[in-house]
Amino acid sequence: MNIAVVSYWHVHAEGYTKEVLEKTDSKIVAVWDEEEERGRKYAEEFSVPFIKDYEELLHNSNIQGVIITAPTSMHKELIIKAIKQGKKVFSEKVLALTLSDCLEIKEALLASGKDITLSLVKKCESTFLFAKELVESGSLGRITYARMRNVHNGSTGNWLPEHFYNKEQCGGGAMIDLGAHPMYLLTWLLGTPLTVQSVFTDITGHGVEDNAVSVIEFEGEAIGVAETGFVSVYTPPILEISGTDGTLIVGETIRYATKETEGRWITPDKLPPALPSPLVMWARDQGEEMEAFGIEASITLTKLMEAAYESHTTGKKAVIATGSFQTHPGSSIAD
């Protein structure tokens, strides 16, 4: 597939370009960027044309796919235009800033008969695939609680680009960026989310949260906790899952104890093989494996994010209803 990179705004855009070139038979053949100088720089680096006019890029029949790594606030417009021109679309998370934007994208996909692929990379890692298998096997019993912490020091280390603190472009700070991983992973493991309650703080004074926790109630009464931030160091991703019959802990090592092991902590001898990244599977057109990275998972993630930020803004629990959310009466974070 011949692919165009649509903006180098996101910190992952350069890595995605290299991943396509090094791990697939697809080619990067063009670059568009809302900032012309940046776009021309990367087009020159990768020896491809810079196309200033997005419509011109989309009308180029030599381009079959686009990687959307533009500001999240631009996703809806860029993605829908690409879908309508018959392009295959890969997008950086999150899909869009609002549920209504996601539903417009879904409508365009339904009309085209295509799907979209989102960068939900944690679903590809062998440790989390093992967690999914263990949950589905029933060995942990009825799942009652899970938490995932996913953090880095992008703010305290001053290595995140300044535009990652632009609320209009990003929709928020740490939770909508790095916190997306705990959000979609918990949903993948626990099922349908019902309510969200958030506490966000701004340690470094950038105007958006860089330290954040959202507590999620799931169907079946399991509780999930999504923890994230740009102000922590030396912390690998940590996942804990507890059920009525056992517990799994995933960190730098992975171990579990269940009734079947009589409470003894076990380190598995073998983990499921890791999947290629969503980008690589998309570029290779591995169709059947892509459902977990498609539009429905993308919509659920945006619903969770929208509710998480509403909860932070109002100080109240946000209830995820059919397609939207509303403030839960009489409930607040302070309580």
* Same domain (yes/no): 137, 256: yes
Number of domains in the chain: 2
How many Å separate Cα 268 from the centre of its chain? 27
* Same domain (yes/no): 84, 173: no
Look at residues 83, 114, 145 and tell me which one is the last residue of a structural domain: 114
* Same domain (yes/no): 133, 228: yes
How many Å separate Cα 214 from the centre of its chain? 15
Domain assignment present for residue 287? The answer is no
Distance CA 161, CA 172 (A): 14
Residue 203 has pLDDT above 70, yes or no: yes
Domain range spanning residue 79? 2-114
Render pLDDT for 4-30 as a digit per residue (tens, 0 to 9).
999 999 999 999 999 999 999 999 999
pLDDT band at 285 (very low <50, low <70, confident <90, very high): confident
* Same domain (yes/no): 103, 132: no
* Same domain (yes/no): 138, 97: no
In the chain, beta strands by DSSP E: 2-6, 27-32, 65-68, 88-91, 116-118, 143-151, 193-201, 211-218, 223-229, 238-243, 246-250, 254-258, 316-320, 325-332
Render pLDDT for 143-189 as a digit per residue (tens, 0 to 9).
999 999 999 999 999 999 999 999 999 999 999 999 999 999 999 99
Residue 315 has pLDDT above 60, yes or no: yes
* Same domain (yes/no): 134, 215: yes
* CATH code for position 235: 3.30.360.10
Residue 326 has pLDDT above 80, yes or no: no
**pLDDT (average), residues 191-220:** 97
